[in-house]
Amino acid sequence: MADVVALWDIALSNGIHKVKFEHGTTSGKRTITIDDEEVLRRNWMFKLVGKETFHIGKHKGVIHIEAVSGFAYEYTLEIDGKSLKKFVEHRAKTAKVWTPVIDGVGHRVVFEKDTMDVWCDGEVLDTAGEFVEGGSETHFEVGGRSCCIRAVSSGKRREGIIHSLLLDDREIPEAIE
């Protein structure tokens, strides 16, 4: 019988990952599974509280195990030193995500604003950038189709730069993760 106590979905550039944490409160066993692959297992731990560290891609994850009362425990996830909530808020500011459907096939395109990398379905794409009137364009292909991420100034200091994905010159709405 599995002692699954926490499940988290983490959206990264290379995809959405499922993190599962098992904690045997009688044996102290701890297991971390990412996308159905076991990445950490500890059996027969006498200390039932503490933390477990793991890596998910280039990111560092920490699961904190705290006793709240009696034999009840609280499990919190931290990514890159930030609570999951703060990490998600930071990702929303530094990455844009679109989910276009091309010839009946769904894709996930991620643009990392800090590195200028473009990811599609978990892979970094080769891109070509150019400056155009009013901003810049980053060109690449998805499913054999021409795509472009256009960056233009919003004209407002607080809004900054607006990024749009164009697929065959048609704008794709941004996805909400």
Structural domains in the chain plus CATH codes: 4-80 (2.40.128.180), 90-172 (2.40.128.180)
User: Residue 154: its pLDDT value, please?
Assistant: 86
Q: Rounded to two decimals, what is the model's pTM?
A: 0.85
* Bridge partners for 90 per DSSP: none
Average pLDDT, the chain: 93
Q: What is the pLDDT of residues 56-115, one digit of tens each?
A: 989 999 999 999 987 789 999 999 999 999 999 999 999 999 999 999 999 999 999 999
Strand partners, 165: 149, 172
Buried b (16+ CB within 10 A) or exposed e, 71-105: eebeeebbbeeeebeebeeebeeebbbbbbeeeee
What is the three-class DSSP state of 47?
coil
pLDDT for residue 40 is more than 90: yes
Identity (one letter) of the amino acid at 108?
Answer: R
Lowest pLDDT segment from 45-49, 65-69, 166-170: 45-49
Q: Cα-atom radius of gyration of the chain, to the nearest Å?
A: 20
pLDDT at 27: 78
